[in-house]
Amino acid sequence: MNTRIAATIKTSLATALPARTAHAAGLIANLLACFTAYFTASLLLLPLTACHAPDANANMDNAAAPLLVRQGERINVPANSPLRARLTVAAVAASSAAHTVTLPAVVEADPARSVNIVPPLTGRLLELKVKLGDSVKAGQLLAVIAAPELAQAVADADKARDARALAQHALQRAHGVNEAGANASKDLELAESNFAQAAAEATRADSRLKTLGANNSNGNGSGRTLSLTAPISGTVTALASGAGAYLNDPTAALMTIASLDPVWITAYVPENLVAAVGKGAAASASLPAYPGLALKGTVAFVGAALEADSHRNKARISFANADGKLKPNMYASVGLVLPQAAQVSVPASALLMNNDSSTVFVEVAPWTYQRRSVELGAEDGDAVRIVSGLRAGERIVTRGGVLLND
């Protein structure tokens, strides 16, 4: 009876308890069976048969091998530990390969190929010959402006031309009279001076009309019209007014024409990388607008001053844009290739966090490891440079180190 009770209790406990504690279930079952037998014998006044707990090691399997053994700061992985198959150990090496940094960027028109069209005189915009986004050729008519001040400038030029002609005739007469001996030399000199002054004034008036772009202006009875033409070939990238508007600010641009082939892709370089980025650095660019487009180039120049608000410098890379796909103000990402001194590099999988520091497990003896803090440098894909904490040639756990982690 005792045997049957013990077997039943043992089976129930073994089912409820984990496999590794099955031997403990046997001990408990035997003890309960002994107690039951004693209680039954007392009630029935029967002699108590021998009952004792079996040896704790009688039905136990061999103890499971420990996964690891800690010896102070060192961790040893025993020969029969299954962790050995899960750990990858390799020697670290120094790398001097260039480091690529990715920076935010934007597409810009080349400032040397952009022109703001500012009317030289105030007035009323009579005709607008182009629209925003139009392509124009150098010399193409852009707008016609009625400018009251232009009438005065044209009148001054007409007066100056007439005065020059009159002074020229007077000079010719003075030469004739002087050759006949009928006047003094001072009269000839005065005529020559008057002609020189009249010629200078006519030249000044003509130059003013030319500067205003009105050297071909035509009269319309009550005033003059000013024709604005394109100084360069390009695209109208900005337009500020429409036909009929009054242009009262002589410093405000009516429109902007920019040549968009080539264009700049301007990268914003943080202050800590300014010293490493220079003219001629290899660069690549990608744009969210064209996911499959990869552009290669070199830095054309780096700005002489940092931006006051962001403390970043501008590095500009020139790219051909014959098809017009690259449009000003598009977002982009620029990868700059920066030279690096030789440094130890480890896989990212080797790094573990311990409190607030980055650590690796260094092999100090065969299958014995010790945690060591390291200072991280730049990331190169799946590898991370180590500024301090490791030397080239040391062996570390490159994969599976989390199994040794606390």
Average pLDDT over residues 29-49: 46
The amino acid at residue 177 is: V
DSSP lists the bridge partners of residue 116 as 256
| pLDDT tens by residue, 262-274 | 999 999 999 988 8
Provide the pLDDT for residue 214.
Answer: 64
Spatial contact of 141 and 217, defined as CB atoms under 8 Å apart: no
Q: Is the pLDDT reported for residue 218 higher than 70?
A: no
The amino acid at residue 324 is: G
78 or 38, higher pLDDT: 78
d(CA 23, CA 152): 116
Spatial contact of 266 and 108, defined as CB atoms under 8 Å apart: yes
| pLDDT tens by residue, 219-261 | 444 457 888 899 999 999 999 988 888 888 888 899 999 999 8
Provide the pLDDT for residue 254.
Answer: 92
d(CA 335, CA 103): 6
Closest CA to 250 of 117, 119, 147, 126: 119
Provide the pLDDT for residue 381.
Answer: 76
d(CA 20, CA 14): 10
Q: pTM for the whole thing?
A: 0.57
406 or 295, higher pLDDT: 295
pLDDT band at 100 (very low <50, low <70, confident <90, very high): confident
d(CA 181, CA 183): 6
3-class secondary-structure state, position 55: coil
Average pLDDT over residues 345-367: 91
* Token pair in block for residue 291: 């996911």
Show Cβ contacts of residue 61 under 8 Å, excluding neighbours closer than 6 positions. 23
Phi, psi dihedrals of residue 291, rounded to the nearest 5°: -55, -30
* pLDDT > 90: percent of the chain: 36
Lowest mean pLDDT among 168-182, 253-267, 299-313: 168-182
* pLDDT > 70: percent of the chain: 80
Average pLDDT over residues 30-39: 48
Closest CA to 118 of 208, 248, 220, 10: 248
Provide the pLDDT for residue 287.
Answer: 95
Question: What end-to-end distance do the CA atoms of the chain give, in Å?
Answer: 50
The amino acid at residue 149 is: E
CB-neighbour burial class of residue 67 (10 A; exposed 0-12, middle 13-18, buried 19+): middle
In the 8-state DSSP scheme, what is residue 299? E
Spatial contact of 317 and 285, defined as CB atoms under 8 Å apart: yes
Mean pLDDT of the chain: 81
